[in-house]
Amino acid sequence: MLGERLGVSRTPLREAFRLLAAEGLIELEPNRGAQVVRLSDDDIRESFEVMSGLEALSGELACRHVTAEEVAEIKALTFEMLACHARRDLPGYYRLNRVIHDRINRAARNRLLTKVYATLNLRIQNLRFRSNFDRDKWDQAALEHREMVDSLEAHDGPRLAAILRAHLKQKGDAVREALRTSAAAPTPSR
């Protein structure tokens, strides 16, 4: 049983499942348990469209409110992430990528935006990782991160918003393309 494996009783486990269901991450089926939600192509497209708007708003607001210390931290994290890119360390790159996007969102100084952003990001988090499996797309994403830092340093909100919107749209397109390709691939026979 999952509760035993995690060392928790049924009550907190049920509450956790209820919260995950409320966030749209799992579906609870009476007498059958919980299933992870499978996102359709339209679900993925819509999620990335909304996320691109949230990211763009985060970038625009961050340029108004970000401190010099926050810019320096985001810049340092970006250089570290680009080093992961050069080493082809996708898990390290992805971990830092997530931190950078979260820091930009926090620099926006809008609690509601952060809450909505975090909820949707949970839904598509593993899909964002998949978008960098194609080396050319990963190279493009790394270049966009350099441009993000330049825009943030210049406090150019409209430019950063445009970069973030395009960045997330391209991620969504890459994810959908990868999923279509993997679904169309023949399964090996045993």
Give domain limits for the chain: 2-36, 41-182
Q: What is the pLDDT at residue 189?
A: 57
Judge whether 123 and 47 are in contact, CB under 8 Å: yes
| pTM listed for this prediction | 0.81
Over residues 3-18, mean pLDDT: 81
Residue range 2-36, CATH number: 1.10.10.10
Q: What is the pLDDT at residue 57?
A: 98
Over residues 17-37, mean pLDDT: 76
Alpha-carbon distances of 14 from 6, 26, 36, 109, 129, rounded to whole Å:
13, 12, 15, 33, 29
* 24, pLDDT greater than 70: no
Q: What is the pLDDT at residue 11?
A: 86
Q: What are 129-158's pLDDT values in tens digits?
A: 777 788 898 999 999 999 999 999 999 999
Would you place residue 159 in the very low, low, confident or very high pLDDT band (cuts 50, 70, 90)? very high
- The first and second tokens of residue 181, run together, are 């390709």
CATH topology of domain 41-182: Four Helix Bundle (Hemerythrin (Met), subunit A) (1.20.120)
Would you place residue 72 in the very low, low, confident or very high pLDDT band (cuts 50, 70, 90)? very high
For residue 35, the SS3 value is strand
Alpha-carbon distances of 7 from 1, 36, 48, 135, rounded to whole Å:
10, 21, 36, 41
Q: What b-and-e string marks burial along 145-165, b requiring 16 or more CB atoms within 10 Å of the CB?
A: bebbbebbbeebbebbbbbbb
Would you place residue 90 in the very low, low, confident or very high pLDDT band (cuts 50, 70, 90)? very high
- The first and second tokens of residue 59, run together, are 């970038």
* 42, pLDDT greater than 80: yes
